[in-house]
A and B are shown apart, each in its own frame.
Chain A
Amino acid sequence: MAVVTKAETPPRPPRSRRLLYRLRVLRHDPTAALGLILVVVLGYLVVAPLVAVLSDAFRLQYGDDVHAGQAAGEWTGYYLWRVFRSQISGLLFWQPLLNTLVVALGTVLFALVLGGGMAWLVTRTNVPGRKWLAGALVVPYMLPSWTFSLAWLTLFKNERAGGQVGFLQAQGVHTPDWLAYGALPIIVTLGLHYYPFVLLLVGNALRRIDAQLVDSARILGAPQRTVVRRIVIPLMLPALSSAVLLVVGRVLGTFGTPYVLGLPADFRVLSTGLFQSIRDRSTGVASVLATVIVVIGVVIVLADTRMTREHRRFVTVGGKGGMDRLSDLRRVRWPAFALGLVVFGVSVLVPVLTLLLSTVTRTPLDLSTFTLDYWLAERLPGAVGFPHGVFRGSELWAAAWNSLRIVGLASVICAVAGLLVGYVVVRGTAPRVAFFLRQVSFLPYLVPGIAFAAASLSLFAVARGPIPALYGTTFLLILVMAVTHLPYSSRSGIAAMTQLGREPEEAAQIAGAPWFQRMGRIIFPIQKGALVTGIVLPFISGLKELSIVVMLTTTGTELLTTLSIGLVDYGYTQLANAVVLVIALVSFTMTYLTQRLTKSSLASGLGG
């Protein structure tokens, strides 16, 4: 009969012995090694670019030594001075900043009113066709964000920028500059793209509000209006603030729309300013701008997490179903439905039909000039840079193949990396490695895509140590695209692995399976579904991606999106529209099919 009395702290073997033992264990368990590899790779791909762009902002670049009076490579405050205090800083920074703020604010208001209103309509009222409206009103988010700006140009373009004028101008109606270009059209088109975002977030929150909370207030004698003001709105605050901050974050990093609608009128925002600086090869200024965008992005996301955490303290989400009683709209039911239809029409039908019609008419939207030349013609007179229909020649196919290959590979890498991050985190053999991976794989979420692309350029434009210069290679595009989508895939990877737990792998281990067998026969097959969604979601969003790739593509690595923007630069409106339509069609079909097949909701793919 063994009876053990309370022992003091058990004796510990000497450190060297423990270390030897630990090494023996690690030799048999590749998780730690895998974790370390991921740490190094992610550290290099995520952290190093940010460090590089920061150091470029404070180091004198070649060619600027005469102006700055310092030797190239020295530490300098020259670029800070140039961006913030010099005579051209208004042009470089302050005006774009102001414009960005105006656009962000306007877009947020627009999206809030439209998205919030529609969210209320489809979740809280008995409007006819609720289900259908709920689905249809999300469609704008599945289209590339600058689809709307091209449609806008097709309708409102005036003669200022040269090239073909828009529909109204062709009809003899003069469209003033403020209507054709600049803040107003940018706000409207971005708002049309981002309102579904608000609709989804606010709609979810509305759906989750506990009916009992509202009922208690009613029973205590509060009139309807007070209930809304004192109960519903405060409960909605987290979702609202989240929606606001996220839309601001997106607008900050968006490139296509302000490029198409802003530049012809010299209306610059931070993202297009950054692009311009890089194109002008003023690396130092570009680095400062990128840093500023990164800082604003980080502040926004941190503010969002902070606010949601603050709010979580008092928001109680009841366990019992949400507010299932719907407001009866009575006589305005059908008018409300009509309103929903109008929003759908303006945000989906009008832009898409405008683009479609513009590609089959010589004079915009004038059906008497119907032609399929822009799609099919062997030769297009007058278009020197692209002398044939989009389906002819090799450009579209080459770009499509590039998109498919680059975005596809990036998505696969991203999904596998996300799952591996999840694996290492859940295995928990190395808690510190797991912590680092969690944080670093989330980091790109804080950084607007265009700034991250600029940062990657800083790092990879020149050879560093054993790593050659990667600018202009498909490899760089794949890497950057994979890294920017990593936050979503690693989150879903962690979620999937957490749900699975360690036991299935441990059971295989006990059954005698070595590591590769466990991965190949157990982990990956079980996670097949998660892996497929992990590939498809980044793929769809990557296909529409412009901000990230616009600075990284070169002649050989043209993608569908950059091809379209290139055609806009040439002034070939119809051709550009045709390419965007192709992208929109592909991305919409894929999103729709994915939702159908995997029953995943678009909300989980909001990464796009």
Chain B
Amino acid sequence: MPAITLTGVAKSYGGGEHAVRNLDLTVPDGAFMCLLGPSGCGKTTTLRMIAGLEQPTAGTIAVGDRVLDSVERGLYVPPEKRGMGLVFQNYALWPHLSVRDNVEFGLRMRKVPAVERRARAEAALKMVHVDAAMDRYPSQLSGGQQQRVALARMLAVNPSVLLLDEPLSNLDARLRLEMRAELKRIHEESGATIVFVTHDQLEALTMATDVAVMNEGELQQVAAPMDMYDRPANRFVAEFVGSPPMAIVDVGPSPAGLAGSLLRFAESRVPGSLEGAQCSPTAVGIRPEALRLGPPPGATWCEEAVVEAVLPAGSSWTVRLRVLDTELYAVSYTPVEAAPGDVVTCWTERMHLFGADGARLSAWDGAASPAKGAVA
């Protein structure tokens, strides 16, 4: 299975705004790569460029050692000759063809004999559990079924590269959960390289082997899901990945208040890491689930906090706190006894420090390595 390489890829419309600027990205062989970002960040454009439906204004796109686009060398392979699979956000099933004909279409184009075509289409539909609806038309299917047919249509031709453009966004919550597991299974069974576009960070974290976060046409970070969660490269990634998002407190000119307290603590624990940084930290971030309530277990940062509201959500409790005149959210997975107005102690073992340009400088992780305490 091939790796997909994008080198210096840029896309601008009419010379002005760049939808994608100077993108270098490698999707490793057999990976399940999620392109994650807010809407308009260029992730769908990137996917469509890989598919060949849109053309870069600069750069090279290759699969394995086959160059598909190279503006510099004047090379271009049209989408119909790229042999990839693509599932559209709205599925784009052909309304005038039955489910079977939809799935067989790609095989027909590859001049597969009728008997084999039939068998392969049926196998693909069986794989996504819609073989019972084989002779119906797309308009007679539910959204979830249409989605599966779109998948089957893609899988029937057995492509080595699968591209999916927010395929789950039009499904209800339950179906989405089911399809996530399904896609993960398909990835494992087919061994194909998958590029999956989504704006839902949870979807990215649960399914992907690699996540690439984009914003405003630029790549922010590429990492394995949990690495990205634990070590976001910058403020944007830190705030975008994780729900509820990381609270980031700006230090400001006077080192008083919450930010000052956090910063002084970090400096006292890991002096080396801060001096080594090119610039001094200007913001400190804490993930809500890292902020705990109750007596601190030892050498951690702790402060007094006033409980403002407790929001139970079944399996978790979100608590709004006021700490040194700053609002913070804490998420607890054990029942919270406190009531609004109570004064409690909150503590954390993990915090992230950000520089003036937004890049993450370092983190302090008391739980991971208590001896050293710093993780860059």
List residues of chain A with CB under 8 Å of any chain B CB.
1-7, 9-13, 17-18, 20-25, 28-29, 431, 501, 503-504, 506-514, 517, 521-522, 525-526, 528
Q: Which residues from B are CB-within-8-Å of A526? A: 94-96
CB-CB under 8 A for A513 and B218, given A7-B22, A17-B71, A526-B96 = no
Cα(A20)–Cα(B10), bound, Å: 17
**Interface check B246, CB cutoff 8 A:** no
**Nearest-CB distance from A242 to chain B (Å)?**
35
**Nearest-CB distance from B158 to chain A (Å)?**
12
Cα(A501)–Cα(B76), bound, Å: 24
Q: Are A512's CB and B22's CB within 8 A?
A: no
Q: Are A511's CB and B106's CB within 8 A?
A: yes
Q: Are B71's CB and A18's CB within 8 A?
A: yes
6 residue pairs from A and B, CB less than 8 Å apart: A3-B233, A4-B219, A5-B357, A12-B57, A501-B92, A509-B78
Q: Are B74's CB and A20's CB within 8 A?
A: yes
CB-CB under 8 A for A506 and B109, given A3-B359, A10-B18, A29-B78 = no
Cα(A383)–Cα(B26), bound, Å: 88
**Interface check B86, CB cutoff 8 A:** yes
CB-CB under 8 A for A5 and B359, given A509-B53, A513-B109 = yes
Which among B18, B58, B74 is the interface contact of A11 at CB below 8 angstroms? Answer: B58
Known contacts A3-B220, A10-B22, A25-B76; can you find 5 more A-B pairs with CB under 8 A?
Answer: A10-B10, A11-B8, A507-B94, A510-B86, A526-B96
Cα(A23)–Cα(B71), bound, Å: 11
Which among A10, A23, A24, A503 is the interface contact of B58 at CB below 8 angstroms? Answer: A10
Q: Are A13's CB and B71's CB within 8 A?
A: yes
Q: Are A511's CB and B153's CB within 8 A?
A: yes
**Nearest-CB distance from A368 to chain B (Å)?**
61
**Interface check B90, CB cutoff 8 A:** yes
Cα(A25)–Cα(B82), bound, Å: 14
Q: Are B74's CB and A24's CB within 8 A?
A: yes
Q: Are A510's CB and B18's CB within 8 A?
A: no
**Interface check B229, CB cutoff 8 A:** no
Q: Are B57's CB and A3's CB within 8 A?
A: no
Residue in chain B with minimal CB distance to A22: B55
Q: Which residues from A are CB-within-8-Å of B227? A: 1
Judged by DSSP, the binding face of A is helix
**Nearest-CB distance from A34 to chain B (Å)?**
16
Q: Are B57's CB and A17's CB within 8 A?
A: no
Q: Which residues from B are CB-within-8-Å of A10? A: 8, 10, 18, 21-22, 58
**Nearest-CB distance from B234 to chain A (Å)?**
7
Residue in chain B with minimal CB distance to A503: B92
Cα(A541)–Cα(B150), bound, Å: 42
Q: Are B94's CB and A510's CB within 8 A?
A: no
Residue in chain B with minimal CB distance to A20: B74
Residue in chain B with minimal CB distance to A29: B78
List residues of chain B with CB under 8 Å of any chain A CB.
8, 10, 14, 18, 21-22, 24-25, 51, 53, 55, 57-58, 69-76, 78-86, 88, 90, 92-96, 105-106, 109-110, 153, 157, 218-223, 227, 231, 233-234, 357, 359
**Nearest-CB distance from A387 to chain B (Å)?**
54
Cα(A22)–Cα(B76), bound, Å: 9
Q: Are B22's CB and A509's CB within 8 A?
A: no
Q: Which residues from A are CB-within-8-Å of B70? A: 21
Q: Are B157's CB and A511's CB within 8 A?
A: yes
CB-CB under 8 A for A24 and B76, given A2-B221, A503-B90, A510-B51 = yes
Q: Which residues from A are CB-within-8-Å of B94? A: 504, 507-508, 522, 526
Q: Are A513's CB and B105's CB within 8 A?
A: yes
Q: Are B218's CB and A13's CB within 8 A?
A: no
Q: Which residues from A are CB-within-8-Å of B218? A: 4, 6-7
Residue in chain A with minimal CB distance to B212: A2
Residue in chain A with minimal CB distance to B237: A3
CB-CB under 8 A for A512 and B359, given A17-B72, A504-B94 = no
Which 7 interchain pairs have the tightest Cβ spacing? A20-B74, A503-B92, A511-B106, A28-B78, A10-B22, A512-B109, A10-B10
Q: Which residues from A are CB-within-8-Å of B84? A: 510
CB-CB under 8 A for A506 and B55, given A5-B357, A13-B71, A513-B105 = no
**Nearest-CB distance from B70 to chain A (Å)?**
8
Q: Which residues from A are CB-within-8-Å of B219? A: 2, 4
CB-CB under 8 A for A3 and B221, given A10-B10, A507-B92 = yes
Q: Which residues from A are CB-within-8-Å of B21? A: 7, 9-10
Residue in chain A with minimal CB distance to B87: A507
Q: Are A17's CB and B95's CB within 8 A?
A: no
Q: Are B76's CB and A21's CB within 8 A?
A: yes
Q: Are A510's CB and B221's CB within 8 A?
A: no
**Nearest-CB distance from B162 to chain A (Å)?**
11
Q: Could you say which of B22, B71, B233, B234 has the most chain A C-beta atoms within 10 Å of its C-beta?
A: B71
Q: Are B110's CB and A2's CB within 8 A?
A: no
Q: Which residues from A are CB-within-8-Å of B53? A: 506, 509-510
Q: Which residues from B are CB-within-8-Å of A2? A: 24-25, 219, 221-222
Q: Are B74's CB and A506's CB within 8 A?
A: no
Cα(A20)–Cα(B76), bound, Å: 10
Which among A18, A25, A525 is the interface contact of B96 at CB below 8 angstroms? Answer: A525
Q: Are A1's CB and B221's CB within 8 A?
A: yes
Q: Are B74's CB and A17's CB within 8 A?
A: yes
Residue in chain B with minimal CB distance to A526: B96
Q: Are A510's CB and B85's CB within 8 A?
A: yes
Which among A12, A18, A512 is the interface contact of B80 at CB below 8 angstroms? Answer: A512
**Nearest-CB distance from A146 to chain B (Å)?**
42
Residue in chain A with minimal CB distance to B163: A510
Q: Are B80's CB and A510's CB within 8 A?
A: yes
Residue in chain A with minimal CB distance to B84: A510
Cα(A528)–Cα(B94), bound, Å: 13
Q: Are B88's CB and A13's CB within 8 A?
A: no
**Nearest-CB distance from B231 to chain A (Å)?**
8
Residue in chain A with minimal CB distance to B223: A1
Cα(A2)–Cα(B96), bound, Å: 45
Cα(A368)–Cα(B183), bound, Å: 86
Residue in chain B with minimal CB distance to A2: B222
Q: Which residues from B are CB-within-8-Å of A6? A: 218
Q: Which residues from A are CB-within-8-Å of B79? A: 506, 509-510
Q: Which residues from B are CB-within-8-Å of A508? A: 94, 105
Cα(A435)–Cα(B304), bound, Å: 65
Q: Which residues from B are CB-within-8-Å of A504? A: 92, 94-95
**Nearest-CB distance from A252 to chain B (Å)?**
40
**Nearest-CB distance from B292 to chain A (Å)?**
28
Q: Which residues from A are CB-within-8-Å of B8? A: 10-11
Q: Which residues from B are CB-within-8-Å of A23? A: 74
**Nearest-CB distance from A14 to chain B (Å)?**
9
